[in-house]
Structure 1
């Protein structure tokens, strides 16, 4: 059974690679190129289509790469371009806010901080979050941003299937309350986590989009909670949203009222 499963994955990968040679292909042509039976190719295409990896032209019946693959390709490209696109914006954001600034990318049900600049303030926020360290989505501002922009079904699967372990007394561990926060995040364009990952530390984050408008990362600030209230919170939110949009534009995103 494992060998058969691996063979199926290999065949699916080889099938997708054929679309680098031709934009549209039919079942017969794919079967000939891959050396597989038409029925097997049709089953592969049906599965890939159900996951959005390929789509079928309703008139010709031929197949082409789906939007999901375009988004995955955009995400892969962004990972290699993110540092160059974000570097000057992060410097400006730290100058604007005086706080620690960072960028996180999704990694399954976690986030990984891939860029970080320390705060300019004398009063700083303890040890830095190490690059490459994984943190849960539910208790971080960046994680809430990424959850807010997941497809609805995937978001609900996370909310109903994840054990929300409290890291502090303020960590949101009620799925309904977390759902409300994620809804609010999607509506206003930014998320916050006050004393949730670490007592005494607050964070605020906004989305970064790639060229297809898919959210591929989040940019944020972290500050001592004693500095995070009132006018400071509103000022940080505006600065972080603007930074997210600036990085997105540098990654090829053209703003078309996507609500970020």
Structure 2
């Protein structure tokens, strides 16, 4: 475990004080409860207020309550919990239809994290686990999620990053990856052929929230012994249907073309 940063620890201690009582505190109360110097408390409160983690009460000078940023973080956490639970249910339904392994994943920087997974019913199947992290450029879910980023954000995430391969088929050239992502945007689905596992191919589709933002991707993974062009087309339709079903559970409504 790495070294804890004292300043960050103190700031979090301040925020956690607001979980108790009536949810409002003054600087002297924080000083007394945390046994910190008054100057330190003043700096912490000023910094947290400047970043909208706290807000000064206009009708009670010198008192603070939690700010909008804490609400935003809590809401994002709740969304992730809902996404994981709903994703597991939809993944189960898709797996029951196709008999293959189904994942739901989110993007974190240049990696994907699997938040839901249902195993194939076949004896030969992909070995993985919820919570696993993989390089986004090596997976179908990762390509799908990278492809939905605005160009500027994609540049920020990829510029200066080495694309490490997981198999001989992994994309390690940034220019090639960008070309592939352009194709993903055009098709609306992403493919991965033995790029994260030499014996597995996958197809993925985007999952959207109520605001229409892509928040995850749903994929179907198949061992190469059961993979074919026809099977790929069939699973692409199932992945899109599954992703749409999960999107609907998250409150997204598709607009008619």
| TM-score relative to the length of structure 1 | 0.71
Match of 1:133 in 2: 132
Distance 1:225 1:191 in 2: 17
Cα drift, residue 16 of structure 1: 6.0
Distance 2:75 2:178 in 1: 27
SS at match of 2:138: coil
Unaligned runs of 5+ in 2: 1-5, 8-42
Q: 1:77 to 1:92 in 2, by over 3 A?
A: same
Distance 2:133 2:105 in 1: 10
Match of 1:122 in 2: 123
Match of 1:242 in 2: 241
Match of 2:87 in 1: 86
Match of 2:207 in 1: 208
Q: 1:121 to 1:240 in 2, by over 3 A?
A: same
Distance 2:232 2:246 in 1: 21
Runs of 4+ with deviation above 6 angstroms: 32-35
Cα drift, residue 84 of structure 1: 3.3
Q: 1:87 to 1:18 in 2, by over 3 A?
A: same
Kept in 2, the 8 Å contact 1:75–1:216? The answer is: no
Matches within 5 A, 1:140-219: 140-219=139-218
Distance 1:182 1:112 in 2: 19
| TM-score relative to the length of structure 2 | 0.72
Q: 1:124 to 1:76 in 2, by over 3 A?
A: same
SS at match of 2:112: strand
SS at match of 2:107: strand
Distance 1:211 1:75 in 2: 13
Cα drift, residue 120 of structure 1: 1.3
Match of 1:76 in 2: 77
Larger radius of gyration: 2
Q: 1:149 to 1:33 in 2, by over 3 A?
A: farther
Match of 2:113 in 1: 112
Match of 2:102 in 1: 101
Aligned residues: 213
Matched, 1:12 2:50: yes
Cα drift, residue 137 of structure 1: 0.9
Q: 1:18 to 1:139 in 2, by over 3 A?
A: same
Q: 1:17 to 1:218 in 2, by over 3 A?
A: farther
Unaligned runs of 5+ in 1: 22-28, 36-64
